[in-house]
Amino acid sequence: MSEGASPPRRVSILGATGSIGRSTLDILRHAGPGAVEVVALTGRDNIAGLAEAAREFRAEVAVTADPSRYEDLKAALAGSGVEAAAGERAVIEAAARPADWTMAAIVGSAGLAPTLAALRQGRTLALANKECLVSAGGLFIEEAARAGAELLPVDSEHNAIFQVLDRPNRAAVEKILLTASGGPFRDWPAERIAEATPEEAVAHPNWDMGAKISIDSASMFNKGLEMIEAMHLFALRPDQVEVLVHPQSIVHSMVAYVDGAVLAQMGAPDMRHAIGHAFHHPARAPLPVERLDLAAIGALEFRAPDPVRFPALRLAREAMEAGGLAGCALNAAKEAALEAFMDRRLPFMGMAQVVEEVLSALSPFAPAGSLDDVFAMDALARAAAGERIAARIRASGLGKGAAFA
């Protein structure tokens, strides 16, 4: 470290082997020599990718969430000086190691406990894992306040809103406009969507993302989760959160104010924008992203979403209005349905049907008194979804190993 330079920032990445994790590593590469000291990197199945990143960044510890892969990880790290660990508990412990800045990018509600461990350090948490806010909502925000943590949204829409939010005039916000690309089935007729395969659903037109969030974009469950995420993150009423289909994915979201002004944040569809913003905040630094050429893009389109072909938006709104643990139930049922769709045990539109059935079976929803309530509801909704998926397979007469699409 040269004289006068600031000490390196201690950085951890939860979900370092995923799409957001790899983009975060790229931002660190561009941060310059001596800017960061990597504490913990976590992953699950991709042992080679985890070990490679841990070696490159000389991480203190690399952790796989899968306990059966401990020996593999240890072998991959042999001679590197990087500590190896495995299992869910080890991921949580790694998240609790002192770090100035942590990226929370584990996919799904599996990210909740490790993200909370990082949050409780009271440092800066860059939050990509939207499921934390969808499932634990108000409790998660309360934990952040109690710990004195700085919460920086990384989901591109929420990061955009964060950038254009007029904080001193917070009460002047009329509503937010979450933009949605509409996914690969945006213009498909309902009959065609009903027969969509996992391969078709995973192929997002604008964004390069992990498989699960790509499929959630196709069903628009991703936007549904983002509505709930925004409500908690920005302390909004459900009626202040609106969705607008914007096929070009250039306007990442907007805030509408009481004086009629609408402030938008724009950029190329590249998650390194939001990640880099959260990394350098409150400063701004050059980022390795494409510059916008609006003259070449020419036109930006906006339209209202179709609630019939994309019932996920209606279900999310119902969950927002129901409050309490409804978001947790929606997310857990959706995760179970998504797994079933990926395994071809459920057709594409079956995902929304299963979620709707689970929500109506479990309602009304009590408020979450504690995180134990959140974990209990997650398990309950997952089990309820599993029963409904199994019943559908039985009713289809296909039996075990049934395959749709």
Contact positions vs ligand NDP (CB under 6 A): 15-21, 43-46, 65, 91, 105-107, 110, 128-131, 155, 207, 209-210, 212-213, 271
User: 213 is in the binding site of which of Mg ion, ligand NDP, none (Cβ under 5 to 8 A by kind)?
Assistant: ligand NDP
Q: What is the bridge-based pairing of β-strands 173-180 and 251-257?
A: antiparallel
Least CB distance to Mg ion at residue 82 (A): 32
- Which amino acid, residue 278? A
Please give the structure tokens belonging to residue 178: 């979450």
The footprint of Mg ion (CB under 5 A) covers 155-157
Least CB distance to ligand NDP at residue 20 (A): 4
- Give buried/exposed letters for 303-318 (b at 16+ CB in 10 A, else e): eebeeebbbbbbbbbb
By the 10 Å C-beta count (0-12 exposed, 13-18 middle, 19+ buried), 402 is classed as middle
Least CB distance to ligand NDP at residue 343 (A): 16
Least CB distance to ligand NDP at residue 124 (A): 17
**Residue nearer to ligand NDP on the CB measure, 208 or 321:** 208
List of residues 6+ apart from 232 with CB closer than 8 A: 133, 137, 138, 140, 141
Least CB distance to ligand NDP at residue 95 (A): 10
List of residues 6+ apart from 384 with CB closer than 8 A: 333, 357, 358, 361, 362
User: 54 is in the binding site of which of ligand NDP, Mg ion, none (Cβ under 5 to 8 A by kind)?
Assistant: none
User: 188 is in the binding site of which of Mg ion, ligand NDP, none (Cβ under 5 to 8 A by kind)?
Assistant: none
Q: Count CB-CB contacts under 10 A for residue 321.
A: 11
**Residue nearer to Mg ion on the CB measure, 277 or 382:** 277
Least CB distance to ligand NDP at residue 405 (A): 21
**Residue nearer to ligand NDP on the CB measure, 18 or 347:** 18
**Residue nearer to ligand NDP on the CB measure, 11 or 393:** 11
Please give the structure tokens belonging to residue 115: 């993200």
**Residue nearer to ligand NDP on the CB measure, 269 or 347:** 269
DSSP 303: B
User: In terms of Cα–Cα distance, which of 29, 48, 137, 205 is closest to 378?
Assistant: 137
**Residue nearer to ligand NDP on the CB measure, 85 or 393:** 85
Q: H-type helices in 104-210, by residue range?
A: 112-119, 131-147, 156-164, 190-194, 198-202
Q: What are the Cα distances from residue 159, in Å, to 47, 84, 150, 195, 198?
A: 30, 33, 14, 34, 29
**Residue nearer to Mg ion on the CB measure, 17 or 222:** 222
**Residue nearer to ligand NDP on the CB measure, 44 or 388:** 44
User: 276 is in the binding site of which of ligand NDP, Mg ion, none (Cβ under 5 to 8 A by kind)?
Assistant: none
User: 305 is in the binding site of which of Mg ion, ligand NDP, none (Cβ under 5 to 8 A by kind)?
Assistant: none
9 pairs with which residues across the strands?
36
User: 17 is in the binding site of which of ligand NDP, Mg ion, none (Cβ under 5 to 8 A by kind)?
Assistant: ligand NDP
Least CB distance to ligand NDP at residue 39 (A): 16
Least CB distance to Mg ion at residue 7 (A): 33
User: 311 is in the binding site of which of ligand NDP, Mg ion, none (Cβ under 5 to 8 A by kind)?
Assistant: none
**Residue nearer to Mg ion on the CB measure, 252 or 345:** 252
Least CB distance to ligand NDP at residue 266 (A): 17
Please give the structure tokens belonging to residue 265: 């944040």
User: 232 is in the binding site of which of ligand NDP, Mg ion, none (Cβ under 5 to 8 A by kind)?
Assistant: none
Three-class SS state of 379: helix
Q: What is the bridge-based pairing of β-strands 83-86 and 251-257?
A: unpaired
Q: Which residue is nearest to ligand NDP (CB)?
A: 18
Give one DSSP letter per residue of 112-131, joined into a string.
HHHHHHHHTTTSEEEE--TH
- Which amino acid, residue 342? M
Q: How far apart are CA 387 and CA 250, in angstroms?
A: 41
